[in-house]
Amino acid sequence: MKLVFLTDHYHPYEVGGAERSLRIVVDRLQSRFDIQVVVLVGEPARPVTVSSVDGVPVTYLSCLPVLDLAHFGAPAGVSRRRRLQAALRGCADSLGRATPSSLRLKLWLAACNLYSSLFCIENYEALDQDYSSLVNLAPLREILEKIGPDLIVSDNSRSILCLPACGQRSGARTLAIIRDLKFSSPRRKVIAHSASGPCDHCTPQCQCMASLPSLIRRPLTRILFLNQAFRLASLQRYDQLLTTSQFLKNSLARHIPNPLRVIPNSVGEILNEVPVRSDISERTRILFAGMLTPNKGPDILLRAMAEFVKECPNADLRIAGRPSAHSADLPALVRQLGLESRVEFLGFLNSRELSQLYASSHIVVCPTRWPEPFGRVPLEAMNHGCLVVASRSGAFPETIEDGRTGWLFQPMDENDLLAKLRLARAEWMAGGPMQQAARASLSRYSVDSVCKQYEDLFLETIGG
């Protein structure tokens, strides 16, 4: 049976846990199915290239956005006149490349994103690169019809939107793997956008934007909800829908009548032995691993660390993750808190480097503001014998049993996080049972368990 995995990122374009999870499934099931991977690369036009990754044919297909994001990404401090000039230039460039079949979509994108870039730069998420990739999909359609797959699996948002739009006529069954909140929330990118806390769903009134003037909020709300309606309509065109957590399934069930299946991400191969670490009484090593965005909450951990080091002078914090537009503020916060000698920024690490970092850490903290759709980091940390502290949000309560396999704290509550850091250090020093209990809980996330569920689902979907 022929399977095509259609995805936004794949080796060497891996971004994070979602991409690692997909590669685990492809590597394990390539002996059971004839698998090919098609990657929609979100970068300027490049020729279609084909390579092989661990024996799997991979086609990299340029997915040139309709609108140039650079025209709309001006900092908030730029004057409105200059932002208007840049936005109009971007719209003109885009419409100049329009074909009759894509003109209406481009006009819609140009109008709604011009509005959001002018009046609400912090809501520039309305400028959705996934939508703007929905034109000129003939090369994708030709590739799929040439392969002639029995099943096409769309993984990640851009691919999920592009497959129904490309009009492929191969007769293949289709399955979408939904890994994040982009389909269940009108606020596509910035889920933790409120000072009062994370927003796991938005009301039609979008209370999370209540501070905006009404004349700005109402059109922007309309744009966001129309965009969400388009995303949800795309999901309805798939034969099978899959999520990676019960939390994500519940958040989508409010919008989608189709039955949703749940298969968790795999943590990878379960380690037979826990790596040996330095004595925690000599050096308490704390780790943050994740993209350096406000949603992930590294600033919350830094503030808790400022108090923790007063009680535990030998503690240090290593921060590993891809920088973002907001990460430049973190070094300044470190200096403000007097943590220069306690905090080290390591940048983005690949899987092997991150594994080595886990192996030398005692406590891993996931202080996310937003509702995490799955959260791979706690499971990887448990697999390496680390103790885990995470916010009580999203799918974390599914993967972490509070007080038994890790600790959960109230999102954005630095005092509660500090209390859990104390418990974690005391647990490690006492040699308590949590480390063993956490590793024992990983069996349902093993490669064998997860990939068997995928294999059964693929066969079921192909069988109709």
How confident is the model at residue 113, as a pLDDT? Answer: 55
Residue-range definition of the domain harbouring residue 333: 284-445
pLDDT tens track for 225-236: 666 777 788 888
Do 149 and 108 belong together in one domain? no
pLDDT of 32 higher than 80:
yes
Task: Give the residue, 222 or 161, on which the prediction is more confident.
Answer: 161
Do 396 and 378 meet the contact criterion of CB atoms below 8 Å apart? Answer: yes
pLDDT tens track for 316-334: 999 999 887 777 789 999 9
Tally the domains of the chain. 3
What lies within 8 Å, CB to CB, of 81 at 6+ separation is none
Q: Are strands 343-347 and 387-391 parallel, antiparallel or unpaired?
A: unpaired
Do 38 and 59 belong together in one domain? yes
Residue 39: name the closest of 65, 57, 18 by CA: 57
Do 49 and 85 belong together in one domain? no
Residue 354: name the closest of 328, 385, 321 by CA: 321
d(CA 154, CA 174): 8
Do 244 and 178 belong together in one domain? yes
Do 453 and 441 belong together in one domain? no
Do 235 and 258 meet the contact criterion of CB atoms below 8 Å apart? Answer: yes
Percent of the chain exceeding pLDDT 90 equals: 43
**Residue 10: which pLDDT band, with cuts at 50, 70 and 90?**
confident
Do 295 and 323 belong together in one domain? yes
| Mean pLDDT score, 134-144 | 77
Do 382 and 433 belong together in one domain? yes
d(CA 412, CA 370): 10
Q: Are strands 56-62 and 49-53 parallel, antiparallel or unpaired?
A: antiparallel
CA atoms in the 13 A half-sphere facing the CB of 348: 10
* SS3 state of residue 197: strand
Residue 262: name the closest of 181, 177, 185 by CA: 177
Number of H helices, E strands in the chain: 16, 14
pLDDT tens track for 339-378: 999 999 999 888 889 999 999 999 999 999 878 889 899 9
| Residue 153: CATH number of its domain | 3.40.50.2000
Do 248 and 360 meet the contact criterion of CB atoms below 8 Å apart? Answer: no
Sheet of 2-7, strands arranged across: 49-53, 56-62, 34-41, 2-7, 151-155, 173-178, 240-243, 260-262
Q: Give domain status of residue 427, yes or no.
A: yes
Q: Tokens at residue 36, please?
A: 């090919």
Do 220 and 291 belong together in one domain? no
How confident is the model at residue 453, as a pLDDT? Answer: 96
Q: Give domain status of residue 258, yes or no.
A: yes
pLDDT tens track for 86-98: 545 544 544 444 4
Do 227 and 84 belong together in one domain? no
How confident is the model at residue 440, as a pLDDT? Answer: 93
Q: Which amino acid is at 174?
A: T
How confident is the model at residue 423, as a pLDDT? Answer: 97
Q: In terms of pTM, does the model score above 0.85?
A: no
pLDDT of 76 higher than 50:
no
How confident is the model at residue 206, as a pLDDT? Answer: 54
Residue carrying structure tokens 């230039």: 89
Do 83 and 155 meet the contact criterion of CB atoms below 8 Å apart? Answer: no
| Mean pLDDT score, 24-44 | 87
What lies within 8 Å, CB to CB, of 248 at 6+ separation is 178, 179, 180, 181, 184, 262, 373, 374, 395
**Residue 279: which pLDDT band, with cuts at 50, 70 and 90?**
confident
pLDDT tens track for 88-130: 554 454 444 444 445 555 555 556 655 555 554 444 444 455 5
